[in-house]
């Protein structure tokens, strides 16, 4: 006998589990920096659990072959298949810009200041110089991949605005420059927003926020395909013997 599973219930159970975990952190951790770190780690764990294994998730800096470095990013979603070098120095990760699919900032509240903060972090990554080289395989050669736009987002628990996605929200996101645009955001108790091609945002229902965020994020990542293969020769020029 064929058994049917209620997919909506599975998604909502996943959402409720994450909400309960975040609520527990807010209740039991009162020191601000520690609470922020714990929330970031919870989101990293959540994304690492539910995204396919091809996507790595960490807090990190992003660098290019010239040694230019981004601001520190709360959550970097990256790939190690075609751009395998991730540098770790004194416990801090430095991820080559070619590896990166998306960058996210985690804050308690959604407001103008935090939108601008996340937008500036995204800009510090997007302005880095990325390389792309051809990939040799058993059947021949794949041409160098065109560079895609690195995704950016903001994740918060609540919003300072009432309504959360009204005039103040639209004015804040409408003032962002091209390299600062936020593709997706999650306000856990209010809804998720997703940038559309015409510059407007789709908004989820409040009771399906996390489900909407995860599904739309996964769809955005799928649409990017694979990261470009980095030109390791350019990175290796930092060495005296090359």
74 is catalytic: yes
Marked catalytic residue, from 64, 74, 123, 183 = 74
129 is catalytic: no
Residue 157: which of 21, 13, 11 has the closest Cα?
Answer: 21
9 is catalytic: no
Phi, psi of 204 (to 5 degrees): -80, 170
69 Cβ contact partners less than 8 Å away, ≥ 6 residues apart = 61, 62, 63, 94
146 Cβ contact partners less than 8 Å away, ≥ 6 residues apart = 132, 228
C-beta of residue 131 within 8 angstroms of C-beta of residue 231 = yes
- The angle that helices 209-224 and 7-28 make with each other, rounded to 10 degrees, is 110
Largest CA distance in the chain: 68
Marked catalytic residue, from 107, 121, 123, 216 = 107
- Map tokens 């609540």 to a residue: 158
- The angle that helices 7-28 and 32-50 make with each other, rounded to 10 degrees, is 160
Marked catalytic residue, from 64, 98, 105, 183 = 105
Would you please indicate which residues are annotated as catalytic (active-site) residues? 74, 105, 107
């Amino acid at each position: 006998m064929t058994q049917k599973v209620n997919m909506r219930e599975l998604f909502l159970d996943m959402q409720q589990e994450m909400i309960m975990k975040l609520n527990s952190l807010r209740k039991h951790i009162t020191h601000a920096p520690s609470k922020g770190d714990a929330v970031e780690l919870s989101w990293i764990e959540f994304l690492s659990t539910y995204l396919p294994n091809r996507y790595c998730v960490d807090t990190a800096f992003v660098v290019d072959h010239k040694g230019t470095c981004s601001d520190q990013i709360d959550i970097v979603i990256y790939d190690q298949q075609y751009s395998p070098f991730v540098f770790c120095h004194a416990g801090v990760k430095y991820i080559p810009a070619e590896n990166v699919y998306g960058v996210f900032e985690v804050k308690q509240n959604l407001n103008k200041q935090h939108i601008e903060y996340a937008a500036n972090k995204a800009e510090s990554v997007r302005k880095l110089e990325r390389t792309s080289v051809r990939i040799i395989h058993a059947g021949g050669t794949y041409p160098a991949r065109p560079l895609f736009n690195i995704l950016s987002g903001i994740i918060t628990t609540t919003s300072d605005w009432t309504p959360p996605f009204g005039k103040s929200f639209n004015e804040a996101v409408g003032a962002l420059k091209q390299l600062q645009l936020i593709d997706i955001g999650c306000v856990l108790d209010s809804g998720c927003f997703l940038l559309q091609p015409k510059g407007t945002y789709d908004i989820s229902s409040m009771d399906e926020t996390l489900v909407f965020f995860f599904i739309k994020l996964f769809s955005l990542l799928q649409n990017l395909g694979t990261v470009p293969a980095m030109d390791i020769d350019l990175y290796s020029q930092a060495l005296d013997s090359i």
